[in-house]
Amino acid sequence: MKTTRSRRPQPAIAERKASERSAQAAGAGKRTGGKATGEEFSTRNPAYAKPAATGANSRGGKPAGEAGRNPAYGKSAVTGAKPRGRNAASGFAEAMPEQSRGGRSGRGAPSPAAPESRMPRAPRSRPNPLGGKAERPTFEAYKAVAAASAGMAPEGEVRNKTKYKTVSRARRMQLRQGSVRELQMQKELRERRVATTEIPAERLQKALAFTGYGSRRAMEDAIAAGKVSVNGKIAALGSKVSLGDEVRFDGKKVVLKWPDRLPRIVMYHKQEGELVSRDDPEGRVTVFDRLPRLKSSKWVAVGRLDYNTSGLLLFTTSGELANRMMHPSFEVEREYAVRVFGELTQEQINEMLKGIELEDGTAHFARLEKRGGEGFNHWYHVVLKEGRNREVRRMFEHFGLIVSRLIRVRFGSMTLPGRLRRGQFHELTELEILGIMRWAGLKINGRQADE
């Protein structure tokens, strides 16, 4: 059977505790660091001297009597409540002179001046002058500190009036990978280049626009202003450039890019509420914000769709291909699915196929088919061979019918895939692009086949 023996205190611990008690009794606490007693420290630093009225040490020593109690540490003389919070208990720091608020460098040493670029501090709670619970900082104080740290202007001022918008890029439609033979053919077409001897001279504004300096109209204005020179001479409208010519824009040398490979073609499922424009002063979302970025060229939209129209929208890097597909002389078909409030009569259908007069001339549908509907909503599929502004909507409004939904489902030989969701894009493969170039009668660099 084990017996319990009482533990005796070790001599080292007992001696240490005895020395601590004797040190505290002698007034040489740890706060003085063993360098000076309280009286010597107060004589060296007047901020820590005993106030004459209360006879209490302002560093937190206990005063003698209720009347001389320090309101920053004891109970308030008005409410009898004790302030809460770390900052509420440090009220002596507000009455302390600036030079006596020492930092880590040494107690009582003046702190270095804070630089102007220093981040603003968050607001802290302030002691209540009437005692009781400390006052919490207001929401306006936090808002002002956040605005100052972010470099924003105070409330009521507008430092930058530019509208910023956050637009996510469109996602690519997922497809299965082709066979090994198809992948090899696509790689060969991707790496094929046109010989330099087969690249003809090009109009200057067209070459600059293809390089990415701006639109053709903007380049024409720059040429007319005398900002462009070719081989050391100021260029004029209608000038042509060839491979090897030295072109300068505003005195800076321009490295022209030439169409020597297959272009890129993208099918995009446009959503309602997107604008077919490169820039909008109102800050609305444009389709070019959603497309994948290009490094060496730019996207050219094949036709347009209204702000409230959705469906198939084509983009390419070849201006010749876009012009051939858009120009009315080529009569490329555009098919739309239309939902209207109401129903067309047979007489109205015949009149739409024959032609009706609009503000900008006669318009007619190449085909018009009924696709069913319920109640007041009826669907129709119409085919046009031109692309005027709001032509489909205006033709139905001619008979008092309002188009509630308009979707482009086909452009030429390209049909909107069923798997292509709204806001997604699908980039055609090199084999598909080669077929479209042959259909348009163009070479791989966008020139006509008979040239």
Q: Parallel, antiparallel, or unpaired for β 356-358 and 334-341? A: unpaired
Distance CA 366, CA 353 (A): 6
Distance CA 24, CA 37 (A): 11
Give the dihedral sign, CA 393/398/404/408: negative
Catalytic residue among 221, 245, 260, 306: 306
Distance CA 414, CA 392 (A): 20
Distance CA 337, CA 368 (A): 10
Which residue stretches of 101-215 are H helix?
139-149, 180-191, 204-211
Q: How far apart are the first and last CA of the chain?
A: 115
Q: SS3 for 139?
A: helix
| Encoded tokens for 148 | 């100052």
Give the dihedral sign, CA 418/421/422/424: negative
276: number of Cβ within 10 Å: 16
Distance CA 173, CA 186 (A): 19
How many residues comprise the chain?
451
Distance CA 421, CA 320 (A): 28
Catalytic residue list contains 279: no
60 with 69: CB under 8 angstroms?
no
| Encoded tokens for 175 | 């497809």
| HSE (side-chain half, CA atoms, 13 Å) at 315 | 22
| Encoded tokens for 70 | 């320090």
Residues in contact with 389: Cβ distance below 8 Å, sequence separation at least 6, in sequence order: none
Q: Parallel, antiparallel, or unpaired for β 252-254 and 247-249? A: antiparallel
Give the dihedral sign, CA 367/315/204/213: positive
Within 124-276, strands assigned E span 171-172, 202-203, 228-230, 233-234, 240-241, 247-249, 252-254, 265-270
Rg (CA), the chain: 41
Distance CA 432, CA 447 (A): 18
Q: SS3 for 183?
A: helix
Tell me the catalytic residues: 306
